[in-house]
Structure 1
Amino acid sequence: MLHEQIKTLRAARGLNQVELAKKLNVSKQSISNWENNNIQPSIEVLVKLARFFSVSTDYLLGLDTRLYLEVTSLHPEEIAHIQMLIDDLKGRTHHA
């Protein structure tokens, strides 16, 4: 599961393995090995991956399927707009 999560999150960001490796300060071979399920990243790197992709380590490990958006620095009105977009994308827009 971890190998699939890394590959999916990397692709969703539009990054190739070399680009992700540079951002995490690891080798391209490490990324390839993780994605091919040959080896597992260390706990330290797992935390780096979670921070980089803005997901929990539980999400990476397949223990939690929920995803979160970091909106701490946004104004309440901006957060409300994002929630409306999410509702629209889910197809369950609530009309006031």
Structure 2
Amino acid sequence: MFGLFGKRKNGKCFDATQLKVDMHSHLLPKIDDGSDSVKSSLEMISGLVELGYKQLITTPHIRWDVFRNTRDIIADRLEMIQTELLRNNINVSFWQRQSII
């Protein structure tokens, strides 16, 4: 894809942390194939913040034959993680964009 992630002429790979935004992650607990707990979500988010990310856009899937998520389940988990981020003083913009597939 536009050679962004392959090696450059100087032999180094593109440093995606320069973008400071992760646009596809599965960081909500027990949704999709990502985090399996609130603790795990917070550890992964903290790791991304340590790498320099400022904004995380989680992208849960709604596809009943594979991922049995609903808008209500996703909204509940999003609110739970946002609350925990505040409570644990983890400074990052965290929101979700729904993926239908």
Please state which band the TM-score falls in when normalised by the shorter chain: under 0.3
More relative contact order in 1 or in 2 (CA 8 Å, sep 6+)? Answer: 2
Which structure has the greater CA radius of gyration? 1
Normalising by structure 2, what TM-score?
A: 0.19
Normalising by structure 1, what TM-score?
A: 0.20
